[in-house]
Amino acid sequence: MSRKYKITRVEITGATPYLGHDRNGAPIRTKDPEQVMAWLCGAWRFRFNQHRSNRCRYLIGTTGSTGLLEPIGSMDRRSNADTRHDHDWIGAVPDLILTSTWMMERKEWAAAVERRRTNREHGRKPGRMPGFKRLRQGRRFTCMSNRGKGYRVVKYSRKHAEAIIGGTDPRGWRDDGARYQIHIHFRLSRPVPESTSIHVDWTHRTISFTAPIEPHHHQPTGAMVGVDVGVVHEAALSDGRLLDLPGKRLRHIENRINGLQRAQARCVRESPYDNTRDYLRKGPSNRYLRLRKQINRLNACKTRIITDWQHKTSRRLVDDHDLIVMEALQPANMSRKPRPQADPDRPDHWLPNGRNAKRALNRGMREASLGRFRTMVEYKSHAAGITFLAVNPAYTSQTCHKCGHVAAENRESQAVFHCHACHWEGNADVNAAINILDKGLRLNDPSGRDTSETRNRSVGPCGGQTDRTAAPSRRGAIIMPGGSRQ
Ligand SMILES: [Zn+2]
């Protein structure tokens, strides 16, 4: 867990930090915050890439137990002290910034190995292993706390605090004292947690405090709920409630994005180039680039609104219930695609079925958002110690929860469910949510075990108090020294 704050300004006090030599051999000593921060980020990236250079990948064509490993870099195994000795420009970098690179590099690599394994298990593409950190990926550095030795946080007023990192100039560059302090002022938008490290993103001017997840004390409520996530209503609950994203705000932002995109299209149209690709290759206008920046900013804003809503809603769901049932995540190859429709008049011709590129993109974004919501409910359930079940969602939207009648015609439209057997009528998503809860309860109750459910690999209790001990722990996965590429 981490909390992020906006950096307002940076100042350097005490001695003048020594940043190395310029190309003529003259020493660079400055208190300019821009230069000092860029220098810290550069040093952090340099040390990080030294650690990364020891990682290995399989030679092309050889994988698994017979695979041959080759290092991805030059296998630089120097210690902090040796690196400082060889490169005097990092001599004044605080120790706990250099040390943090080791931890961050291992963490990122292990997460990638884990992520690739999970993706493969779910039938998705594994994705790439991380490589070296590039400058274009942004300027950033991390500093560890080490029980308050790395940095300290001082609060000045209700809205203003600063993190202070101290460093020492190397011998020979100490004419105005040895110790310097970097004061990173930030806007105190919420309380700062007890943190184990800070992460400074100098490209976006933010500072985050990383803290261990606080144990959550769940008050038993005795309530159970089934949740159907969907596109029209982000979540429908089995008790009949429909939870929606703040649609008005999102639509407002989307309208503004559309307007800006039209302006971008005008830029291309008024240029001498025929298409966007040529236009971009020949150098887009400043106006075009400014519009792109505005669009990116609005999209980021939209994402933040959705994530905020999802965090708050999943927190409420977990607080209010003792058992939550949701759909199991579907492997990628099972994701729903519109079936191709043959044209009855012309053989070998196909009717349009709504699968153009833009729609596919939007659907991908929507599905990612729904998957994220499910993940949030799942991990919050685990942290609170309540039971979270995942069931196969097959036929839950076509089955009547009253009489169990299954038919595709039951679903009259996207919103309305009308049972042809018992004539129950109501919201289709709520009906699906009730079916999901029923499936979960049958699964949870050993006497009424539904064999067709348990046979499916993707179905099963994913957590909860009883099953957590039985679940195989993947935390203990061994990463080979030097790191094999999996
Ligand atoms: Zn019915």
Give the tens place of pLDDT for each residue, 33-48.
999 999 999 999 999 9
- So what's the pLDDT on residue 359? 57
Q: How far is the CA of 282 from the centre of ligand 1 (A)?
A: 63
**116 and 231 share a domain?**
no
Domain annotation covers residue 17:
yes
Average pLDDT score over residue span 465-484: 36
How far CA 287 is from CA of 204, 253, 301, 405, in Å, comes to: 22, 20, 21, 59
Mind giving me the DSSP string for 385-452? T-EEEEE--TTTTTB-TTT--B-GGGB-SSSEEE-TTT--EEEHHHHHHHHHHHHHHHHH-GGG--HH
Clarify whether residues 320 and 189 are in a common domain. Answer: no
**Residues 137, 240 within the same domain:** no
CA atoms within 13 A on the CB side of 1: 14
Question: 298 lies in a domain?
Answer: no
Cα 434 from Cα 131, distance rounded (Å): 46
- For residue 432, the Cα-to-chain-centroid distance in whole angstroms is 28
Q: For tokens 């289709």, what's the residue? A: 428
Residue 420 forms part of a structural domain: yes
Q: Given the residues 169, 322, 327, 378, select the one marked as catalytic.
A: 327
Residue 30 sits in the same domain as residue 82: yes
The stretch 331-338 carries a mean pLDDT of 48
d(CA 334, ligand 1 centre) in Å: 28
Same domain, 195 and 103: yes
Of 474 and 264, which is predicted with more confidence?
Answer: 264
Q: Give residue 419 CA to ligand 1 midpoint distance, Å.
A: 5
Lookup result for tokens 């706990």? 96
Q: Based on the fold, state whether residues 53 and 128 are members of the same structural domain.
A: yes
Number of independent structural domains in the chain: 2
Same domain, 46 and 141: yes
Q: Is residue 440 part of a domain?
A: yes
Listed residues 210, 232, 255: the one ending a domain = 210
Does 112 share its domain with 237?
no
Structure tokens at 249: 């705000």
**Residue scoring higher pLDDT (55 or 216):** 55
What is residue 453's predicted lDDT score, i.e. its pLDDT? 39
Active site residue 327: yes
Same-domain pairing of 50 and 9: yes
SS3 label, residue 61: coil
Instruction: State residue 353's pLDDT score.
Output: 56
Provide φ and ψ at 118, rounded to 5°.
Answer: -60, -45
Q: Sign of the CA dihedral 88, 94, 95, 101?
A: negative
Residue 191 shares a structural domain with residue 119: yes
Q: Do residues 234 and 102 share a domain? A: no
Average pLDDT of span 262-284:
88
Tokens of 437: 């809860």
Q: What percent of the chain has pLDDT over 70?
A: 83
pLDDT of 313 above 70 = yes
Q: 455: domain CATH number?
A: 3.30.420
pLDDT on residue 473: 34
Domain limits for position 13:
2-210
Q: Does 230 share its domain with 194?
A: no
Active site residue 429: yes
Q: Is 134 helix (H, G, I), strand (E, B) or coil?
A: coil
